[in-house]
Amino acid sequence: MPKVRTKDIIEKFDLELISGEEGINRPITTSDISRPGIEIAGYFEYYPAERIQLLGKTELTFFAKINGQERKSRMEQLCTDITPAIIVTREMDVPEELIEASERESVPVLRAKWKTTRFSSRLTNFLESKLAPTTAVHGVLVDIYGVGVLITGKSGVGKSETALELVKRGHRLVADDCVEIRQEDQDTLVGNAPELIEHLLEIRGLGIINVMTLFGAGSVRSYKRISLVISLELWDQNKTYDRLGLDEEKMKIIDSEITKLTVPVRPGRNLAVIIEVAAMNFRLKRMGMNAAEQFTNRLTDVIEDGEHEDV
């Protein structure tokens, strides 16, 4: 099922439908936008017909200088059976030849009030967001001091209970149980909750609670960029856990690599505080302050000084 159709951008940007109404259900498959100036000049060999075509002042001013039959021919070539829409910006007049060709091929011709460059930027951002690769992950997403922390782990390990404690400490819940993730850029993952369970937390023994109703609008947010993954697992005595923090594990989600920390769970460990500190420490590392590296360097200096004294 197509993620975006022509009618979606008509509604989103309040565009005026001029002609080609039969084609408003056409799918939009790419976020790339074309300004077909060279095509209007007559060169259609590499015409990207599957893109939205944007006609601004430059294209229409040039088209006005074309005479006779060529005007009709150029617009007929512009309107194909896979073109999702042709948009005229700046509320300019739409050429009659374009209206006639669009009606024959059922290509929606739309009119926008914005300037071409500004509208192109807004439309591209909208399409990239809607057409971005997506996946779903079992876990909890919380905004902690501005860091999007995805908490993962097996069922019953305490993810939701930890999220509840974090919300009580002033942080914001994004999603519980199922986190929908989209890759908006090469290393940018944005998570949100499915609409059905937005703002809800499931706590065993209590059932489903509405976080926004209990803690207020400041305790939730609709989406958040994911910067850190914390995996909760039951304490394994035979496993060696990282005690310095020098090793940085990565988790691949779609095409992005995200820093991952594994936190063992056992009675007496305050997971909410540990995750809170992990988020703060992650921010410090991004600012260039790595406590583990500083400790290792100091330890190396002490060892080297001791060797010199022995000599």
Q: Which residues are annotated binding-site positions for Mg(2+)?
A: 160, 202
The vertex-234 CA angle with 192 and 196, nearest 5°, equals 25
Q: Which of 138, 204, 269, 298 is catalytic?
A: 138
Active site residue 177: yes
Give the count of beta carbons closer than 10 Å to the beta carbon of residue 311. 4
Please give the single-letter amino acid code of residue 254.
Answer: I
Residue with tokens 């807004």: 122
Question: How far is Cα 35 from Cα 14, in angstroms, rounded to an integer?
Answer: 21
Q: Which of 225, 54, 37 is nearest to 127 (CA)?
A: 54
Beta carbons of 24 and 10 less than 8 angstroms apart: yes
In the set 26, 177, 199, 224, the catalytic residue is: 177
> Is 138 in the active site?
yes
Binding residues, as ranges, are 153-160, 202
Angle at 141 between CA 136 and CA 142, to 5 degrees: 165
Q: Which residues are annotated as a binding site for ATP?
A: 153-160
C-alpha count within 13 angstroms, C-beta hemisphere, residue 71: 16
Identify the burial level of 164 via C-beta atoms within 10 angstroms of its C-beta, where 0-12 means exposed, 13-18 middle and 19 or more buried: buried
Is 159 a catalytic site residue? yes
Active site residue 93: no
How far, in whole angstroms, is CA 244 from its chain's centroid? 33
Of the residues 14, 65, 239, 243, which is catalytic?
243
Calculate the alpha carbon distances from 123 to 14, 45, 98, 295 in Å. 12, 26, 22, 49
Q: What interhelical angle do 159-168 and 271-286 show, nearest 10?
A: 70
Render 87-133 in DSSP notation, one character per residue: EE-TTPPPPHHHHHHHHHHT--EEE-SS-HHHHHHHHHHHHHHHHS-
List, by residue number, the catalytic residues. Answer: 138, 159, 177, 243
